[in-house]
Protein backbone atom coordinates (compact mmCIF):
# COMPACT_ATOMS: atom_id res chain seq x y z
CA UNK A 1 0.00 0.00 0.00
CA UNK A 2 1.22 3.52 -0.82
CA UNK A 3 2.45 5.45 2.19
CA UNK A 4 0.54 8.75 2.12
CA UNK A 5 1.23 11.34 4.78
CA UNK A 6 -1.75 13.44 5.93
CA UNK A 7 -0.52 16.58 4.14
CA UNK A 8 -0.22 14.78 0.78
CA UNK A 9 -3.66 13.23 1.28
CA UNK A 10 -5.10 16.67 2.02
CA UNK A 11 -3.55 18.06 -1.18
CA UNK A 12 -5.13 15.22 -3.18
CA UNK A 13 -8.51 15.86 -1.56
CA UNK A 14 -8.21 19.60 -2.25
CA UNK A 15 -7.60 18.91 -5.95
CA UNK A 16 -10.58 16.56 -6.08
CA UNK A 17 -12.75 19.14 -4.27
CA UNK A 18 -11.81 21.84 -6.82
CA UNK A 19 -13.00 19.66 -9.69
CA UNK A 20 -15.83 17.65 -8.15
CA UNK A 21 -19.38 18.51 -9.18
CA UNK A 22 -22.51 16.52 -8.51
CA UNK A 23 -23.48 14.57 -11.64
CA UNK A 24 -27.18 15.15 -10.86
CA UNK A 25 -27.41 18.86 -9.98
CA UNK A 26 -23.96 20.21 -10.92
CA UNK A 27 -23.28 21.83 -7.53
CA UNK A 28 -20.00 21.54 -5.57
CA UNK A 29 -19.70 18.38 -3.50
CA UNK A 30 -17.93 18.43 -0.12
CA UNK A 31 -14.77 16.32 -0.04
CA UNK A 32 -12.84 15.62 3.19
CA UNK A 33 -10.94 12.89 5.07
CA UNK A 34 -14.15 11.15 6.07
CA UNK A 35 -14.99 10.68 2.37
CA UNK A 36 -12.03 8.33 1.85
CA UNK A 37 -13.09 4.70 2.12
CA UNK A 38 -10.19 2.75 0.55
CA UNK A 39 -6.61 3.67 -0.46
CA UNK A 40 -4.51 1.29 -2.55
CA UNK A 41 -1.15 1.62 -4.32
CA UNK A 42 -2.58 3.35 -7.36
CA UNK A 43 -6.09 4.54 -6.48
CA UNK A 44 -8.48 5.61 -3.78
CA UNK A 45 -12.21 5.14 -3.39
CA UNK A 46 -14.31 7.96 -1.97
CA UNK A 47 -17.96 8.02 -0.93
CA UNK A 48 -19.43 11.51 -1.31
CA UNK A 49 -22.84 13.04 -0.68
CA UNK A 50 -24.13 16.15 -2.42
CA UNK A 51 -25.41 18.71 0.11
CA UNK A 52 -27.77 20.21 -2.47
CA UNK A 53 -29.69 17.20 -3.80
CA UNK A 54 -28.58 14.46 -1.33
CA UNK A 55 -27.20 12.27 -4.14
CA UNK A 56 -24.64 9.66 -3.09
CA UNK A 57 -21.54 9.47 -5.28
CA UNK A 58 -18.81 6.82 -5.37
CA UNK A 59 -15.60 8.21 -6.86
CA UNK A 60 -12.62 6.15 -7.99
CA UNK A 61 -9.58 8.46 -8.05
CA UNK A 62 -6.28 7.46 -9.63
CA UNK A 63 -3.18 8.25 -7.58
CA UNK A 64 -0.99 8.55 -10.64
CA UNK A 65 1.42 11.46 -10.08
CA UNK A 66 1.25 11.38 -6.27
CA UNK A 67 4.98 10.67 -6.23
CA UNK A 68 5.52 14.16 -7.67
CA UNK A 69 3.51 15.74 -4.85
CA UNK A 70 5.47 13.78 -2.26
CA UNK A 71 8.80 14.69 -3.92
CA UNK A 72 7.90 18.39 -3.85
CA UNK A 73 7.05 18.11 -0.15
CA UNK A 74 10.39 16.44 0.62
CA UNK A 75 12.28 19.15 -1.28
CA UNK A 76 10.51 21.84 0.70
CA UNK A 77 11.21 20.07 3.99
CA UNK A 78 14.88 19.45 3.14
CA UNK A 79 15.41 23.08 2.25
CA UNK A 80 13.29 24.31 5.16
CA UNK A 81 11.59 26.63 2.72
CA UNK A 82 8.52 28.45 3.95
CA UNK A 83 6.68 29.02 0.69
CA UNK A 84 4.12 31.29 2.32
CA UNK A 85 6.83 33.83 3.11
CA UNK A 86 8.94 33.51 -0.03
CA UNK A 87 9.12 36.76 -1.99
CA UNK A 88 9.15 36.72 -5.77
CA UNK A 89 11.23 39.81 -6.53
CA UNK A 90 14.30 40.61 -8.59
CA UNK A 91 17.81 41.04 -7.19
CA UNK A 92 17.60 44.80 -7.79
CA UNK A 93 14.31 45.05 -5.91
CA UNK A 94 15.76 43.01 -3.06
CA UNK A 95 18.83 45.26 -2.86
CA UNK A 96 16.59 48.36 -2.83
CA UNK A 97 14.43 46.89 -0.07
CA UNK A 98 17.48 45.89 1.99
CA UNK A 99 18.99 49.37 1.60
CA UNK A 100 15.72 51.07 2.59
CA UNK A 101 15.43 48.82 5.66
CA UNK A 102 18.99 49.68 6.68
CA UNK A 103 18.23 53.40 6.32
CA UNK A 104 15.15 53.02 8.54
CA UNK A 105 17.09 51.12 11.21
CA UNK A 106 15.33 47.84 10.39
CA UNK A 107 11.90 49.26 11.27
CA UNK A 108 9.16 48.53 8.75
CA UNK A 109 7.08 51.26 10.39
CA UNK A 110 9.75 53.89 9.64
CA UNK A 111 10.24 52.38 6.17
CA UNK A 112 6.57 52.84 5.33
CA UNK A 113 6.51 56.38 6.78
CA UNK A 114 9.47 57.34 4.60
CA UNK A 115 8.63 55.42 1.40
CA UNK A 116 4.86 54.94 1.75
CA UNK A 117 2.29 56.67 -0.40
Q: What is the pLDDT of residues 59-73, one digit of tens each?
A: 988 887 766 655 555
92: phi then psi, degrees, rounded to nearest 5: -65, -45
Q: What is the mean pLDDT of the chain?
A: 77
- Spatial separation of the C-alpha atoms in residues 100 and 21, rounded to whole Å: 49
The rounded radius of gyration (Å) of the Cα atoms in the chain is 22
pLDDT of residue 1: 42
Per-residue confidence band for 54, with pLDDT thresholds at 50, 70 and 90: very high
Half-sphere exposure of 88 (CA within 13 A, CB side): 2
What is the per-residue pLDDT for 112? Answer: 72
Locate the DSSP E strands across the chain.
36-39, 43-49, 56-62
Mean pLDDT of all residues in 4-12: 80
Average pLDDT over residues 5-23: 86
Amino acid sequence: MMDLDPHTLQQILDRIKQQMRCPQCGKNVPVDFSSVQVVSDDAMLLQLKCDSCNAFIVLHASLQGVENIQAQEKELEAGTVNVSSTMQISKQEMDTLQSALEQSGGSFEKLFETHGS
